[in-house]
Amino acid sequence: MFVMYEKENMKVPVKVWLEKNEDLESTCREQALHLAQLPFLHKWVSLMPDTHAGMGMPIGGVIAAEGVIIPNAVGVDIGCGMAYTETNIPVEAIRGIQTGNGTLIQAIIGDIMRNIPVGFAHHKLAMPSYTMDRAFDEIDLYEEDKELLGQLEAGYFQVGTLGGGNHFIELQTDDEGMLAVMIHSGSRHFGKSVCDYFHNKARELNSKWFSQVPDEYRLAFLPVDTPEGCQYLRWMQLSMDFANENREKMMLAVKAVLEKYIGKYTDLKLEFSGDINCHHNYAALETHYGKEVWVHRKGAVRAGNGELAVIPGAMGSYSYVVMGKGNPESFCSSSHGAGRLYSRKGAMAAFSCEDVIRDLRDQGVVLGKKGKADVAEESRFAYKDIDAVMSAQQDLVIPVKRLKTVGVVKG
Ligand code: 5GP
Ligand code: MN
Ligand code: MN
């Protein structure tokens, strides 16, 4: 870890969980220095070892704000995160089995894709959603933000859908050879609408208040004791709950597919255990160094002492379940993944579609993806080496399980 505290206009230092200055990409550094100028931060800015540039604030960034919330420091995909479950099924016991639809693992991946809308797809019909039902039950809490009300209806069509790009559903094997499932998704279009709406609202208000935070930093803020700040917190919590339900619904669908295929093709009795469902884009009121602060984790997970979290690597690479050490220096946080090494565009230029597909095939990984033209964006070589990231945060988390991709559905 190294500390940046060089410029006079920095109000707080930046702690970076990387070895040295050169490891921090320039746009990311610039964004971290913007954060360090904010007048309402507690202690310091923390950057996790998977950090890279984001919108306004770096991904892999953690800040603790006093009485203030910043929509872009929560992120566009509010409540984006990971769901995880493990099974009692040895992967080798199912790998060799043939079905009418290829191997059993291919058939399972295919059926997951038929059961869960992926990419930009939503459901054609409204689905049950207890989160949206609750919002309608308490509609007076939301009515003020008329522009967002349509999103509540839309939520019924979005719950239980994966989304595009980096979102995924993976079948994995742990080091003991047991099958596990990992799902990465968030609050879909719903949360994005909430972020955009309140970011713009914050910009308008900040300009009215002659805010010291330049508009081009894209870090417009809302004090939590203003009506707009209160409303953002309500909508943010709703988006987080929706993201949680979204992952839960998909996990139920994946479990049903596994029940069906493992029941049909084997004599094994499938059991699930160890479920985790955690956010990596959110803010929460927590106490750190004796103060109640709004901890913003944008591409970071909570790693409180003894708490479990999920840190994915990349498709065809390792991912981890970790136990937090509760290190206060990172405000009890850790990385949320390996982090991008190449931008989407950069990855497309550096890696060919054929190479990425061959690499997965050589490793015996089943890839479920409708349009493969952009698969290079998600090449494992477009991400940092997860093991280097893990070794840079040994003071934050203990690895509990190491998992490797067996099959992956990509948006
Ligand atoms: P983000 O939430 O920032 O979009 O991505 C979270 C992390 O997920 C990335 O930093 C990357 O390490 C990881 N990741 C992206 N795609 C995949 C995938 O297909 N499989 C696994 N296991 N991890 C992935
Ligand atoms: Mn997301
Ligand atoms: Mn995410």
**Each residue of 125-141: pLDDT tens digit?**
999 999 999 999 999 99
Percent of the chain with pLDDT strictly greater than 90: 97
Would you state the pLDDT for residue 68? 98
Would you state the pLDDT for residue 207? 96
Q: How confident is the model at residue 411 (pLDDT cuts 50, 70, 90)?
A: confident
Show the beta-strand stretches assigned E in 11-140. Answer: 14-16, 45-52, 59-65, 68-69, 81-90, 98-99, 102-103
**Residue 353, burial from CB neighbour count under 10 angstroms (0-12, 13-18, 19+):** middle
Is the pLDDT reported for residue 6 higher than 90?
A: no
Q: How confident is the model over 12-48, as pLDDT tens digits?
A: 999 999 999 999 999 999 999 999 999 999 999 999 9
**Residue 275, burial from CB neighbour count under 10 angstroms (0-12, 13-18, 19+):** middle
Ligand closest to CA 59: 1
Is the pLDDT reported for residue 76 higher than 80?
A: yes
Q: How far apart are CA 353 and CA 338, in angstroms?
A: 21
Q: How far apart are CA 82 and CA 276, in angstroms?
A: 8
Domain boundaries, the chain: 2-410
Q: Is the dihedral of CA 383, 389, 390, 393 positive or negative?
A: negative
Q: Residue 214 C-alpha to ligand 1 middle, in angstroms?
A: 31
Q: In the structure encoding, which two tokens stand for residue 335, read together?
A: 């990385």
Q: How confident is the model over 202-219, as pLDDT tens digits?
A: 999 999 999 999 999 999
Is the pLDDT reported for residue 341 higher than 80?
A: yes
Cβ distance 59 to 73 under 8 Å? no
Is the pLDDT reported for residue 325 higher than 80?
A: yes
Instruction: Give the distance between the most distant pair of CA atoms in the chain.
Output: 69
Would you state the pLDDT for residue 8? 80
> Which one-letter DSSP state was computed for residue 383?
B
Residues 2-410, CATH architecture: Alpha-Beta Complex (3.90)
Strand partners, 283: 296
For ligand 1, whether the C-beta of 338 sits within 6 Å is: yes
Q: In the structure encoding, which two tokens stand for residue 78, read together?
A: 């509010």
For ligand 1, whether the C-beta of 356 sits within 6 Å is: no
**Cα–Cα nearest to 246, from 362, 82, 392:** 82
Please report the atom of ligand 1 found closest to the CA of residue 408: 19
Ligand closest to CA 384: 1
Pocket perturbation via mutation, ligand 1, pick of 57, 166, 367 by most ligand atoms within 8 A of CB: 166
**Cα–Cα nearest to 219, from 273, 121, 298, 272:** 298
Q: Is the dihedral of CA 40, 43, 45, 47 positive or negative?
A: negative
Would you state the pLDDT for residue 149? 98
Would you state the pLDDT for residue 372? 87
DSSP for 261-281 reads: HHHHH------EEEEEEEESE
Q: How far apart are CA 350 and CA 345, in angstroms?
A: 9
Q: How far apart are CA 272 and CA 343, in angstroms?
A: 36
Position 15, amino acid: K
Q: How far apart are CA 42 and CA 63, in angstroms?
A: 8
> Which one-letter DSSP state was computed for residue 365?
P
Q: How confident is the model over 151-203, as pLDDT tens digits?
A: 999 999 999 999 998 999 999 999 999 999 999 999 999 999 999 999 999 99
Q: How confident is the model over 347-384, as pLDDT tens digits?
A: 999 999 999 999 999 999 999 998 888 999 999 999 99
**Cα–Cα nearest to 69, from 290, 281, 286, 293:** 293
Would you state the pLDDT for residue 57? 98
DSSP for 152-197 reads: HHHHHHHTT---STT-EEEEEEETT-EEEEEEEE--HHHHHHHHHH
Is the pLDDT reported for residue 7 higher than 80?
A: no
Would you state the pLDDT for residue 307? 98
Q: Say if strands 98-99 and 102-103 run parallel, antiparallel, or are unpaired.
A: antiparallel
For residues 111-136, average pLDDT: 97
Q: What kind and span of H or E run contains 33?
A: helix 26-36
Cβ distance 194 to 74 under 8 Å? no
Q: How confident is the model at residue 232 (pLDDT cuts 50, 70, 90)?
A: very high
> Which residues form the catalytic set?
336
Residue nearest to ligand 1 atom 17, measured at CA: 314
For ligand 1, whether the C-beta of 375 sits within 6 Å is: no
Would you state the pLDDT for residue 241? 98
